[in-house]
Structure 1
Amino acid sequence: MSLPALQRRLGLGDAVFIGLGSMIGAGVFAVWAPAAQAAGAWLLAGLAVAAVVAYCNATSSGQLAAAYPTSGGTYAYGRAELGEWWGFIAGWCFVIGKLASCAAMALIFAAYAAPPGWERPVAIVAVVALVTVNLFGVTRTAQLTRIIVVVALLGLAVVVSAGVSTAGSAHPAALVPSGPYGVLQSAGLLFFAFAGYARIATMGEEVKDPRRTIPRAIVLAFAGAVVIYTAVGIIVLTTLGAATAESAAPLADVVEAAGWSWALPIVRISAAAASLGALLALIAGIGRTTLAMAREGDLPRFLAAVHPRSHVPHRAELATGLIVIAALTLVDVRGVIGFSSFGVLLYYLVANLSAFRQRGQARRYPRVLQVLGAIGCLVLAFSLPWQSVVAGAAVVALGVVIRAVRLRFSRAA
């Protein structure tokens, strides 16, 4: 009996926009304050470290995706290159980390779009709406992501313009410089902003000419995000200074500091759109990884279904939506960033180790990038706030124990 298959409908532009949509919402509107608290005046150094590690991971993901153009991302790559256990750990880390990210993006959207007291109900409505969009098919996902990314970029352009008009004068006080550990912790938190290119790799069965398209799309989306983050980071620091670490909405504060109060609604709409874009792509990515894991029995096989008309993993995406809705009653935005980063950094550790093992024509990048990426993932993961490390390690261990017990009983049967 053949397994259900997805359809190749996405071109290079679609894949790049899905990657950008996954990254921009997370990084620009969620992570500057906690990263500034960790790194102080060295925030941009933390951004540089995160970008270097992310670049290594991006090249590893691109190299692997070209060799294995299938759904599941590093879950599939780890199984093929390192073995079933490595693949499971990668897939499990991705799913738990990105489920947390979904909750964060829904709450960020609601913080900008909902009236006071209605944040969580509005966040739940957003999840229901975007799961519904995904269920109509991946081309609908790509089309909506393009619109969302354009709206978000227009809003960011307004923020940068406002900041340029007042940078260095409105808030001259400097953040206190941090030590190396603070920079690394900041980098680990900022890495949360770069993980969106994984969404392209997890959709390997739906991209046209994947061996050529996926590596190019990953690099292009990553490069675009680096330029945007650097510009916004410089503007936030030079405009807000010490206030960056305490700001709940730093981009809105930049606009206010510039005296551009008329632009606040634009920033609010931009933030909401960017968060929706990230949430939309996250739901799609989790659904594809869940599909791949269910096909192999690492998650319930019930989730391996592909809808005959829309050609999407509808049961996996519905399950994703239900879990995120449940999580929205328990979590806050800052609490899930570190947890998500821990899981995703371990996911990319497996990606780098998998790419390191590739040989012959499958190799596209020097092995030194994979070594640097693997070391960077480990260092940043364990530089995160201890609460995130403990919670992340506990959930990863729980997944390993459950799989080990299941395998033992299946062998006994």
Structure 2
Amino acid sequence: MRILVYPHDLALGGSQINAIDLAAGVADRGHEVIIYGIPGPLADYIEEKGLRFLPAHDLKYRPAPSRIAQIAAIARRERLDLIHAYEWPPCLDSYFGAGLALRVPLLCTVLSMQVMPQVPASVPLIMGTADLGAEARKRHRADVWVLEPPIDVERDNPQISGREFRSAHSVEDEEFLIVSVSRLALDLKLDALVRGIDAVDLLASRHRVKLILVGDGPARDALQCRADDVNRRHGRKVVALVGADPDPRRAYAAADLVVAMGSSALRALAIGRPIIVQGEDAFSEPFDENSCELFLRQGFYGLADGAPGPNRLLGQIEPLIDDPARRLELGQFGRAFVSRRFALQRAVDLQLDVYKSVLEASPAARISEAVRAAGLAASMEIANHNPLQKRRNRNLQQIMLSAARSGEWPPPFDAWSAHRRSTA
């Protein structure tokens, strides 16, 4: 097969790394795989995997006319058998560029936490959780599969040493190190990051504990301000922001506990670390024998009741600080669980079966669904580029960032809800 894989961007992120790892696995099985996308930090990772990379035009509109034309040209020149797009904007670029006119079979993976209506109903779907797969089947006429984010359990393993990471960041042997590897973004991430800082702030008055945030993004300055306040209160560095790391394996390995969501949580488990899964609205839950089935259904993420304060997370961390035997037990359980259910090679087998099914029975597109998809995308783009909406979004972001700097969290309910709606 000749396959074009189109991640939604090449910034550091779980969805993008999943796309590249699976593409490399498919290539190792003898297929010709090309990665197409807007150049970013993961271009080096693509090269490391030995994959061919075609840079996409960097146009902000979704779908992007220049990328639609580019994909059409690539499909003809490379005689593509299949395009595999990740998330709805690449899906629409591919649908209009090669799916409609050229009839190149198209598959879309959606790893965001909702079923996006912009994906045409004739495009076969891979969803990242069982719950989202069930929801997608209610409205989608093409096939829907569930494939959880894959983890390279050979590359991410418990033999990795975290000693160098602890030394580099002045973590003493007796300090309990909590690590979070995450984009420092407003959407999906900010609530968890703030609650993590606040929980460690309370813990630091009675335990030798440190939180290290590995990552970068638009919320970094605000989170740094909050961390600085915590550090001043305790007269020592309790919270440290150390920037993004394209290879955070040593950060995971250094941790006594990882707080995470999505693929970051799975990578920590593969390295044998105990984790607490975070989400939004104060969601947090340790991964253990009782909660594993919950995370298989809903993914390594969740929504709670938005309760103010960090007490839920604090109450889950504190029992683990003084119980190294339980931490070891959880780490071993998590490693075995991920190796059995989320191993990359198993995911490659499943994805190749999906590719075969798509090639055998790709449902025909309809003009009506093409018009509907274009209309939904155009409406979103018009709203996003409306000066009034832009100003409103900026104001909401400022409210969020102001609360994250040093204010009460969560921010006012109406502002938080409006921000969530504006980014849906």
What is the TM-score of this pair, normalised by structure 1? 0.28
- Whose helix proportion is higher, 1 or 2? 1
**Higher RCO, Cα 8 Å, sep 6+:** 1
- Whose strand proportion is higher, 1 or 2? 2
What is the TM-score of this pair, normalised by structure 2? 0.27
